[in-house]
Amino acid sequence: GDSVTQMEGPVTLSEEAFLTINCTYTATGYPSLFWYVQYPGEGLQLLLKATKADDKGSNKGFEATYRKETTSFHLEKGSVQVSDSAVYFCALSEINAGGTSYGKLTFGQGTILTVHP
Amino acid sequence: IAGITQAPTSQILAAGRRMTLRCTQDMRHNAMYWYRQDLGLGLRLIHYSNTAGTTGKGEVPDGYSVSRANTDDFPLTLASAVPSQTSVYFCASTDRGYGYTFGSGTRLTVV
C-alpha cells in the first residue's frame, strides 16, 4: 500500500537558518503530493502541493519539488522565522486507486519544528 | 464561510459509553474522511466515503462506524469507547482529490 516517510524530529533551528525536512513516498500509481502545517492548538492547513513530476510547490517562502525518480518531496525554506514553529506533515493522495479509496490522503508521521529567536 | 464544521470541540467520555462525533460540510464535496491524530503516528484514516450512500474502512477502523445518508454529513460513532480511542479526530473532504479541507478537530479523552 501507499506510505509516506518523513525525517525524524523534532527539528530545532535558530531564526534565519535554512530548513530541510525530508519526505519520501511509496505509491502504486501516480500520486499528488502535499505538505500540511499544523500550528499549536489548530487544525491542518495546506502549505503547498504538486500534482506531477518536476512540479515545484511554493508558499510563504517554503518550496518542495516533486521528484519521481527519487520518490521524494523534500520541504525547504531559506530563512525560517519563529512564527514557522509548527508540525509539518507530508502526504500523498491517489485519485484512482482501483476506485476503492478515491483520493484518500496518506500522511507521514509529522515533524515538529521549533525556531528560536 | 464554506468549510467543515465539527462538533463537539472537545469531550471527556467515560469508558463504555457511546458517542457520535459530528461533521458537516457545505462545499458539496463528494468524498469525506475521518482521521485520528496521535503523537508520533501522524494522521491515520479511520473511515472514508467516496459519495453519499457509500462508506469504506481505512487503516484503523476497529471500534468505529460511520454513515453517509447525504452529501453534507458524515458522523463518526464510537459504540463503546475505550481509553485507546483518546485522540484528536479530524474530518476532511475533497471534490477531486486535489484540494482537501479539514475541520478544526475534536479532542476526545476516554477515561
A112 touches B at CB < 8 Å: no
Q: Calculate mean pLDDT across residues A73-86.
A: 97
Q: Where are the beta strands (DSSP E) in A15-110?
A: 19-21, 23-26, 32-38, 44-50, 56-59, 62-65, 75-77, 86-93, 105-107
B55-110 pLDDT, tens digit each? 999 999 999 999 999 999 999 999 999 999 999 999 999 876 567 889 999 999 99
pLDDT category at A9 given cuts 50, 70, 90 is confident
Which residues of chain A from 70 to 99 reach within 8 Å of chain B, CB to CB?
Answer: 89, 93-95, 99
Residue B83 burial (CB count, 10 A): 10
Q: Which residues contact A75 (CB under 8 A, 6 or more apart)?
A: A19, A20, A21, A23, A35, A47, A62, A63, A64, A88, A90
Where residue B53 falls (left for φ over 0; alpha for ψ -120 to 50; beta otherwise) is left
Residue with cell 509529522: A110
Question: How confident is the model at residue B1, as a pLDDT?
Answer: 60
Mean pLDDT of the A12-30 span: 94
Pairing of strands A111-116, A11-14: parallel
Chain B residues in contact with A100 by the CB 8 A cut-off are: 56
CB proximity under 8 Å: B 48-87 to A: 48, 50, 56, 58
User: In the prediction, which pLDDT does A1 show?
Assistant: 79
Between A102 and A17, residue with greater pLDDT: A17
Contact: B42, A110; criterion CB under 8 Å:
yes
Within 13 Å, how many C-alpha atoms sit on residue B67's CB side? Answer: 7
Q: What does the pLDDT look like over A24-62, one tens digit per residue?
A: 999 987 888 999 999 988 889 999 999 889 999 999 999
B59 vs A42: CA distance, rounded Å: 24
